């Protein structure tokens, strides 16, 4: 079975998603609203797209200290792991959204940030 990845940029209001097969490249997929149905929506996408790996961006602070955003994202990952029987990996996502803002991307920036997260993971792990 070929590896199929879902990259996630988790935010308070919006959650960006990207997809990749094999070694990539990752492609922007969609933006979901962060509602009570978020995990169910993600489960549906996993089933529809035949995903077998998830990569979530962790928003580390520059100082290396745990911040509120990092704790919230880690809790989201724990919630995902409770209901999914899929590997959930993480990658540092510092400045992914800022990178796309500097490139002039303003629409659906969250799915582009998810693309950067997923590409970073694929490159670091030699997929």
pLDDT tens string for the chain (127 positions)?
Answer: 689 999 999 999 999 999 999 988 999 999 999 999 999 999 999 999 999 999 999 987 777 677 888 999 999 999 999 999 999 999 988 656 666 667 776 678 889 889 999 999 998 887 7
The domain at 4-124 falls in which architecture? 2-Layer Sandwich (3.30)
In terms of DSSP bridges, do strands 4-10 and 53-58 run parallel, antiparallel, or are they unpaired? Answer: parallel
- The answer to whether 10 and 30 are in contact (CB under 8 A) is no
Kind and range of the H or E run holding 75: helix 68-83
pLDDT of residue 17: 98
């Amino acid at each position: 079975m070929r590896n199929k990845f879902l990259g996630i940029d988790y935010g308070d209001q919006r959650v960006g998603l990207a997809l990749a097969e094999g070694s990539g490249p990752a492609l922007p997929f969609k933006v979901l609203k962060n509602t009570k149905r978020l995990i169910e929506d993600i489960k549906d996408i996993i089933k529809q797209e035949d995903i077998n790996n998830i990569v979530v961006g962790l928003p580390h602070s520059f100082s290396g200290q745990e911040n509120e955003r990092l704790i919230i994202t880690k809790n989201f990952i724990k919630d995902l792991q409770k209901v999914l029987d899929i590997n959930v990996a993480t990658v540092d996502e510092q400045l992914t959204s800022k990178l796309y803002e500097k490139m002039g991307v303003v629409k659906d920036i969250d799915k582009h940030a998810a693309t950067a997260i997923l590409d970073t993971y694929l490159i670091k792990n030699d997929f």
